[in-house]
Amino acid sequence: MKYKILKLILLFICFSFLPSPGLSVELVGQGQGATPAEAKKAALADLSQSIATEVKAVHTGWKTLLDGEYREEATEMIRVESRLPLLGVENYAVEGVGNWEATAFLRSSTAVTLYLNQLQLLRAEIQTGLDNFQQKERNSEREPLLKKLLAQHEDFKRHLTVLLAMEGSAPPDLPVTSAEIQDLLRKATSEPDSLDQAAKLLTADMQEYKDVFVFPLRAAKAQEVTPFSLAFQGRVMKWIRPILDSEKSEYLLHGAYVPRAGGLEITIHLSKAATHEIVRSNSIFLKEVAYKGLRVEPSQPEFEQQLQSGSWASEEFRVALRTNKTSEELVIQEGETFEIHAKLSRPGYFYIIGHTFSGAEPFSFLLEINRDHRIPQRFVRYVGPDQMGQWIKIGKFQAVRPLGFENLQIFASDQDLSGNLPNWQYDPVNRFYRVGKTPKASLSEFRSLRPAAGYSAEATLTYTTVEGID
């Protein structure tokens, strides 16, 4: 009885502050924990995922507002997902049976002003930093100023991404681009010629931080973890104080690389796991000789580009995929088991198509998510009102050979999708229900099966399977 009364009080508090329909964008996260602090932390993590889903959905609508560098960098920021900053969050916790439950709200009616103020402050700081840089003549003095500018620029982009998702305002102008900062920083530092040297230089001012979870570097405009990314991740972990469980980390280290003439431009950021505040940023140019024999280019750039465009999208309907480990820069070792979870923002139906490029012949297949059902219900699952907004376990899987680049694509709708499945053919040898010819050739065909009525949405989860590390 105590639990029910407290929960009703919490719901009353939360809904009493709800804005009128059409006047405000509201995003909600929910979480549970053994203590109020743990429950609120889980709610904030879920809220970050909600923001990421919202940003992806509205991207098509506001990307035309952006020109120049912002158009490109906004697309990159959409893939940052749960690392977006949270301002003006309301977080409530109530004691349940054996644990605590929390709900976190982010409302545009109060948050937009906070984000605008923060953007104005960051712009002023960037201008001051640029003025100070121009007054310095020695590289030893310029380098720390440029690193700070790089972190501020990254912080600006993240706040801007959330603001655009909530309001759609045109971005403020900046006096310098991140590409220009990276170029200046490259000139102010040496050019290493080995992975180990580069990792050491990049993390020189990060080694005091402990419990750092290291993500593999992202290749530009790609989700795949390349052999170079995996090798460099190992080198970085030698020079910092890492932790292997992202859920227990105090800090997150992540970054990206872009091929240039004669080498790679690498940028990394160290941020607080709880707030995603960036505390350190570094950039360096890595000579080609340092990664000779390692593939740096994504193996399926055209397919990944297809995934990013023309997807099922709806502002009224959201869908997301993740594993029980993470959904970003995901690497799974051979023999390792993992769970796949899905979440729908409203009642509806969904099915999942897998795309595998790990064998000699790439192919797509329907994932069996209800193996005890007959076809087509074997491939389609319904999410009722009692499950909407919650992560639902799809099943447990194991990474087996052949190893390599894999992708899962979830299609969801408030209409029954049993009659909208692609034609399949059972492969008795490998026990797959194959669909389409090849992933690249069939992606548009799969998307053409979108129901004519109602709301529909899609999401993807990319991961790379690799050999086990002894």
> From CA 340, how far away is CA 301, in angstroms rounded?
24
Portions of the chain given CATH number 2.60.40.2550: 301-466
136-150, 385-399, 450-464: segment of lowest average pLDDT: 136-150
pLDDT in tens, 101-145: 999 988 888 888 899 999 999 999 999 999 999 998 878 788 889
Strands 424-427 and 348-356: unpaired
pLDDT at 341: 95
Order of strands, edge to edge, in the sheet holding 26-33?
26-33, 100-107, 90-95
pLDDT in tens, 11-53: 444 444 444 444 467 888 888 999 999 999 888 888 877 776 6
What percent of the chain is modeled with pLDDT above 90? 59
SS3 (DSSP) at 27: strand
pLDDT at 7: 45
Portions of the chain given CATH number 3.40.50.10610: 190-298
**Per CATH, which fold does 301-466 belong to?**
Immunoglobulin-like (2.60.40)
pLDDT at 168: 57
pTM summary value: 0.71
Mean pLDDT over each residue of the chain, to the nearest integer: 85
pLDDT at 51: 76
> From CA 339, how far away is CA 398, in angstroms rounded?
9
What secondary structure does DSSP assign to 376-414, as a single string?
Answer: TTTT-EEE-TTTTTS-EEEEEEE--SSPSEEEEEEEEES
Whether domain 190-298 has CATH 3.40.190.10: the reply is: no
